[in-house]
Amino acid sequence: MATPDDRRYTDQHEWALVQGTDGAGTVVRVGITDHAQDALGDIVFVQLPEVGAEVGPGNPIGEVESTKSVSDVYSPVAGVVAAVNEALTDAPETVNSDPYGAGWLVEIRVAADGGDPTAELLDAAAYEAVVHAS
């Protein structure tokens, strides 16, 4: 199982990667981890929020449906949905094949305050510890 060091993680198995700032705030790309997609099995449907929706940390922002179950996806940060990965509508299995790349779910714009909006999330080592403890 891969856990890239370039992003932060939640104990609910989401990842967050700062994409940069765009004048209106910091854009954070969000997806589910390799561990999560592996546990879910073959993903057949992804429900994502509307662009412009306000989200809060720990609140559901969508669902990932697999042949085994349906799981909520939670926002790791507070902000406004800036983009959703429309490609997943026709190819939800991309979350299985490339969870840290083309299988991203949403981008959230966090109000500009100068800090890293993902700083309080788990680093790769801490996330690995959570996975191995469960």
Alpha helices, H only, 60-107: 87-90, 94-97
User: CATH second-level architecture of 8-113?
Assistant: Beta Barrel (2.40)
- The residue behind tokens 């993903």 is 43
Least confident of 24-28, 49-53, 85-89: 24-28
pLDDT of residue 115: 77
Q: pLDDT digits over 3-25, tens only? A: 999 999 999 999 999 999 877 88
Closest by CA to 38, choosing from 96, 85, 77, 89, is: 96
pTM, to two decimals = 0.95
Q: pLDDT digits over 76-109, tens only? A: 999 999 999 999 999 999 999 999 999 999 999 9
Q: pLDDT digits over 105-116, tens only? A: 999 999 877 678
CA distance readout (Å), 52 to 11, 31, 36, 86, 113: 26, 18, 26, 15, 20
Question: How far is the C-alpha of 47 from the C-alpha of 88, rounded, in Å?
Answer: 9
Output the average pLDDT for the chain: 94
Kindly state the helix (H) or strand (E) to which residue 101 belongs, with its residue range.
Answer: none
Look up residue 59 and give its DSSP letter: S
CA distance readout (Å), 117 to 58, 88, 97: 14, 25, 27
